[in-house]
Structure 1
Amino acid sequence: MKVFRIKNVACRDHGMRRLKLAVCMVFMLSVMSPASAGGSAAQTCLSVNRDLSLGTRLPRLAARIEAGGPVRIVAIGSSSTVGLWMARPSLTYPQVMKRELETLWPGIAFEIVNSGRVGDTIPGNIKRFRKGVFAHRPDLVIWQLGTNDIAWGGNMDGVREEIDAGVASLKATGVDLILMDLQYAPQVLASPHHAAMEVLIRVAALQEGVGLFSRFEAMLKTVQAGVSDRALVALDGLHNSRDGYDCIGRLLARAIYAAAQE
């Protein structure tokens, strides 16, 4: 009997080849994206970060809301944007954000375009801007960046210039822009470059006058509030758990709502 392992999950081949991969993937999803009992981790995350600010206004989005909508948002990034390990698209942060925005702004239609790609990097994101962002003519772009550039042994050569170029090309279209930084997770913390990447993303947002959604800070504050350091992180030590995606999506929506009121 053969044993197949995917991320430490063993699947035995009983001759049912067509079912093997499907069964293994369902099992992986169930063990790698658990929700905490009663959603307490997500609720604590929301509570301790209730004053989180994007640090800027969102004038284009505010104008669209004032006009009665609709509002189109593009989320571009890597597997955190795709929502890796989630069994349904509704559990990904962009879709959680959409539901929260529609609750905050009843009667306004929000269209979310998920332009995430598993394994993508900053240069890869930028190469996809034309089809993945500009072609959709969004009012707001959320660019989740930086994790893969450091998590797999990369270096920081030229990263500042790449971020600056990406921000400039997005701003040139007149969209509102939010940068989403790294996740507070073991594989990120293991990289010697994570602090430098955090600084570059923060500085880019400040200098270019665009929003910063600090996922790293939000998750860290939740841990400091007593939540387990793995409650918001999947068993791979990198991606968010179900509670993690839930908090990030709802927290981001609330920060967007606050920024649009300024």
Structure 2
Amino acid sequence: MAGSFLRLAVGIFAAAGIWLLSAPAAAPAQPQDCDVAESFYSFEPTLPNTIRALASGREVIIAAIGGASTRGGTWGSPELAWPARLAAALVERVPAARVKVVNLGVARQTSGEMAARFVREVPALKPALVIWETGTMEAVRNTDLGEFRETVQAGLGRLRAAGPEVVLMDMQFSRVTHAVINIDRYVNILREVADANDVPLFPRHDIMRYWAENGILDLRTPDREKRRQLAVRLHECIGREMADFIVRGAHPSRPAPGRRR
């Protein structure tokens, strides 16, 4: 029974959102009107080392670790996934920057499986920044919340021991998956762990909810070609929003509007 539910849940994720996360090879989408207001973020990320490195003109390595929505490639090319679009967007915002984003996404890995890779894969890269996208498989599998919290906390410890600054990224938003999976509990755990460790959290879940509820990026369509177009646009938008999120760290003196919602 549990195995049947897991297969159903993963299938729903694929149908409702993850199928959008890799588009067929094509030219990257041009910038779209998918911004969110600055007031949308409920705290200010502080990434001073990354900002200094970007402005220095030397090569800056950013490692993106996550699942299928980070890896891309299910339908097309990882070059269209958000990590690649992030690299291009950062250069637009910081012209002196030389950015290399290394995509370490592996589909269907749990937080624990990702964390086990940190010691092997992160130190050799010497990244200035690691973006860790996680929580989807835990939500699908209904993992114990305390176990999830401990796993993310331990993973953060491993990343910080390797030296880079860290950004956590939470899960996707989908109306369909919300109907059958309690995503919010796991989003809240990531927020709590980020708060407790003074780590920036990129609120992808809330951003995608905002886009869906305002008709900016409504992912519900049976049309295959439109899904492909949405896939390109979604990745472009996430990459650009992440670039804005990182660059906001150049202004640590700006007063924070409050804690995460």
Counterpart pick for 1:224 among 189, 195, 213: 213
Mapped contact 2:55–2:96 kept (Cα < 8 A): no
SS at match of 2:104: strand
CA distance in 1, matches of 2:121, 2:37: 30
Match for residue 73 of structure 1 among 62, 79, 102: 62
Which is strand-richer, 1 or 2?
A: 1
State the superposition RMSD in angstroms: 3.1
> Paired residue for 2:231, among 235, 241, 255?
241
Aligned residue type for 1:123: G
Partners of 1:205 and 1:97 in 2: how far apart? 22
| Number of equivalenced pairs | 226
CA contact (8 A) 1:76 1:144 kept: yes
Spell out, residue by residue over 1:91-141, the C-alpha distance to the aligned partner (whole angstroms, 9 max, x if none).
110000000001111132101111100111101100111223222111000
The unaligned stretches of length 5 or more in structure 2 are 1-10, 12-18, 253-261
What amino acid sits opposite 2:242 in the alignment? L
| Alignment equivalent of 1:255, drawn from 241, 245, 251 | 245
Q: Does structure 1 conserve the Cα–Cα contact (< 8 Å) formed by 2:47 and 2:249? A: yes
Alpha-carbon distance in structure 2 between the residues aligned to 1:125 and 1:169:
11
Aligned to 2:14: none
Q: Select the structure of larger CA radius of gyration.
A: 1
TM-score (norm 1): 0.76
Match of 2:79 in 1: 90
My pick for the range that moved more, 252-261 or 114-123, is 252-261
Residue 124 of structure 1 is matched in structure 2 by 113
Identity of aligned residues (%): 28
| Structure 1: tracts of 5 or more residues without a match | 1-6, 8-28
Would the aligned equivalents of 2:212 and 2:218 in 1 still touch at CA under 8 Å? Answer: yes
Q: Residues 77 and 115 of structure 1 are in contact (CA less than 8 Å); yes or no, is this contact kept in structure 2?
A: yes
Cα distance change of structure 1 residues 134 and 86 upon mapping to structure 2, 3 Å threshold: farther
More helix by share: 2
1:177 is aligned to: 166
Contact 1:61/1:140, CA 8 A, preserved across alignment: yes
Which of 39, 45, 51 does residue 34 from structure 2 map onto?
Answer: 45
CA distance in 2, matches of 1:87, 1:253: 23
Hey, what does 1:23 align to over in structure 2?
none
Q: Taking structure 1 as reference, are residues 106 and 77 closer, same or farther at Cα in structure 2, changes over 3 Å only?
A: same
Shift of 1:162: 0.6
- The question of whether the paired residues in 1 share the 8 Å contact of 2:72 and 2:80 is answered with yes
User: More deviation in 113-122 or 240-249?
Assistant: 240-249
Relative to structure 1, is the Cα distance of residues 220 and 113 closer, same or farther in structure 2, using a 3 angstrom cutoff? same
User: What is the TM-score normalised by the length of structure 2?
Assistant: 0.76
Q: Is the 8 A contact 2:54 2:60 kept in 1?
A: yes
